[in-house]
Amino acid sequence: MRDLLELSVSAAASGCIYALVALAYLLMIRPTGVINFAVGEWAMVGAFGGFLLLSKYEWPYALGMAAVLGFMLLVGWITERIAVRPLVERGAPLLAAILALLGMLVVFREGISLGFGPDPHQVPEPVSFEYLKLFVIGATLVVFAAVWLFFERTLWGKAFEAVALNRRAAALMGIDLRRVTVASFAGGAAAAGLAGLLVAPNTSAHYLMGVPLAIQGFTALVIGGVGRVEGALLGGLLVAFAEQLTVRYAPLPSGYAQGVPLLLLMLFLLVRPTGLLRARA
């Protein structure tokens, strides 16, 4: 029983990290249809931002966190301007933007690797380690509540939803598609950066941390469903619980257990490609 309780908190905290990465995907996919696999590298950039401001320059945590999130908004905006918008304006297919963003993944990773070297770097925790998981869970719930309110209660949120439902109709109604697109990338980068900042005290900041987070976040997104914000949270939690309960309790060699979330991903793609939560009509 002690193990199960410990594991529940641990899986919930890991699930929140996956959920934030899934949210980053979702914020971009809904209005633009673009799957941006560089979200993992954005999380890495957020983690290194934490290292720089919180470890190296020893800023107060709240200030450092705000600065990292502000910087990530900028990173998302710039990424959209240089890797997506030029392609959209030339009428390139969606796949071109996805491939360009894969290129950006390499640019981010190698940029960090050149700038900070290959060694992992320590990022301080906002609270003492025994409460870190609760902090991660709390911060994630606040973000999800804020994003949910944004979509449900604000005009801007409705504009996002309108673009997600029908881009052409939304444009005809006077919604600025460019603005929505750039805001979706900026928001996605901030969500991913927050995931990196929150996971880094545990894993440290290192240049290869992005791709595994991108895979786990994508799995969470597919399981939870692309259509609704709550789906990202549900998917993240399900992936983490499946992962950790399998390792702990399934009669499988430890090395095999890591394949379980990927099996879940394949299962959902085959049986329920819309995920657990479908978009509202």
Partner 1 sequence: MRKWLAALLAAVSASVVAQETIKIGVITDKVGPAKPYSEPTLEGIQFGANEINAAGGVLGRKIELLIEDDQGRPDISAAMARKLVDAGAVFILSITLTPATQQQQNVTLEAKTPQMTPMNSGDTLTTQLQNPYFWQTGPLGSIQIATLLSHARSKQLKRVALITDNSDLGQLLAKFFRAGLEKSGIQVVAEEVVPRGATTAEPQMQKVRAANPEAMFMAGVLTPENVLILRAYRQMALKFPIHSSYNLSVPQYMSVAKGLLNGITFVDAYDPEKPEVKKFEADYRKATGKLPYNIHGYGYDGIKMVAEAIKRAGSTDKEKIRAAMQSLEFSGVMGAKGMKYVFPDGKRAGFDPNGMVVRVYEGDKQGRVVHVGQK
The binding site for partner 1 (CB under 8 A) comprises 3, 6-7, 10, 13-14, 17, 110, 113, 117-122, 129-130, 199, 202-204, 206, 208-209, 211-213, 215-216, 240, 244-245, 247-248, 253-255, 258
Cβ closest to partner 1, residue 55 vs residue 73: 55
Residue 270 Cβ vs partner 1, minimum distance, rounded to whole Å: 24
Residue 70 Cβ vs partner 1, minimum distance, rounded to whole Å: 25
Residue 255 Cβ vs partner 1, minimum distance, rounded to whole Å: 4
Residue 249 Cβ vs partner 1, minimum distance, rounded to whole Å: 9
Residue 197's closest CA among 105, 281, 71?
Answer: 71
Cβ closest to partner 1, residue 6 vs residue 152: 6
Residue 82 Cβ vs partner 1, minimum distance, rounded to whole Å: 22
Cβ closest to partner 1, residue 91 vs residue 129: 129
Helix (H) or strand (E) holding 242, with range, is helix 229-249
